[in-house]
Amino acid sequence: MLFQLLRGNFDFASIVAEILAVLLIVFLILPFHEWAHAFTASLLGDKAIKYRGRLSLNPLSHIDPLGALCLLLFGFGWAKPVPIDPRNFKNPKLGMAITAIMGPIANLVAAFVGLLIYNALFYFAFGFLVTDIGGFVRTFLSFYISCNIGLAVFNLIPIPPLDGSKVLFLFLPDKAVNFFYRYQQIFFIAIFVLIYLGVISPVLNWATNGILDGLSWLSSLPFRLFVH
């Protein structure tokens, strides 16, 4: 979004639609993402998590101001990580991997709901979509959907503290895991630099587009069956 503003490649309605989509994600979807971590951890044995104030959908419990600002400006961001004690899991590595993967899955569920709404409008209210207000709604839903999928893909990068690292650690020896944790701040900064330079952007875009295509097909299936 920031680059569009700098290049003047935008119109007022699109910017407003995208800002509203980001606000929805910040105040609803990011808390849902973190709640998914907390709820899964609780189910797997970390019962103390409910006393840490994160087994909630209250946005104030989850919002990270800098992460929210990055989401608004760059299209990817984060919330406050949920503190999880893997010692409460029967299998710490497996428990952390399952807990971690549920965050990106929450984003994909949110994107899928957005696609269902879009398909409902497309199949049953197409005339509305071609109006000015409909175009605004279409822009809002498109950005909301793509942003959620992008967040899922971003979080699945196997570098700490991102969720994908916990999945990777399931297959690594403890010595390697400790190495990643020791230098996680350096790795995290490096990820942002690589994204800014466009080095890993093609891979992230390929994954995002592939997931979008798959979810689009799946979400449209019941409508196509119903209409035909």
Q: Rounded to an integer, what distance in angstroms lies between the CA atom of residue 79 and that of residue 49?
A: 17
Could you tell me if residue 8 is left (phi over 0), alpha (psi between -120 and 50 degrees) or otherwise beta? left
Query: Over the stretch 89-148, which tens digit does the pLDDT of each residue have?
Result: 999 999 999 999 999 999 999 999 999 999 999 988 888 888 889 889 999 999 999 999
Report the pLDDT value the prediction gives residue 198, as an integer from 0 to 100. Answer: 83
Residue appearing with tokens 């957005």: 114
Q: Rounded to an integer, what distance in angstroms lies between the CA atom of residue 202 and that of residue 30?
A: 25
3-state secondary structure of 79: coil
Residue pair 37/102 in contact (Cβ under 8 Å)? The answer is yes
Report the pLDDT value the prediction gives residue 193, as an integer from 0 to 100. Answer: 86
Residue pair 36/106 in contact (Cβ under 8 Å)? The answer is yes
CA angle 29–32–35, rounded 5-degree value: 155
The whole-number average pLDDT for the span 206-219 is 96
Query: Over the stretch 56-67, which tens digit does the pLDDT of each residue have?
Result: 888 888 888 888
Average pLDDT score, the chain: 88
| Percent of the chain topping pLDDT 70 | 95
The residues carrying an active-site annotation are 34
Report the pLDDT value the prediction gives residue 11, as an integer from 0 to 100. Answer: 76
Q: Given a cut of 60, is residue 4 above it in pLDDT?
A: no
Q: Rounded to an integer, what distance in angstroms lies between the CA atom of residue 186 and that of residue 180?
A: 10
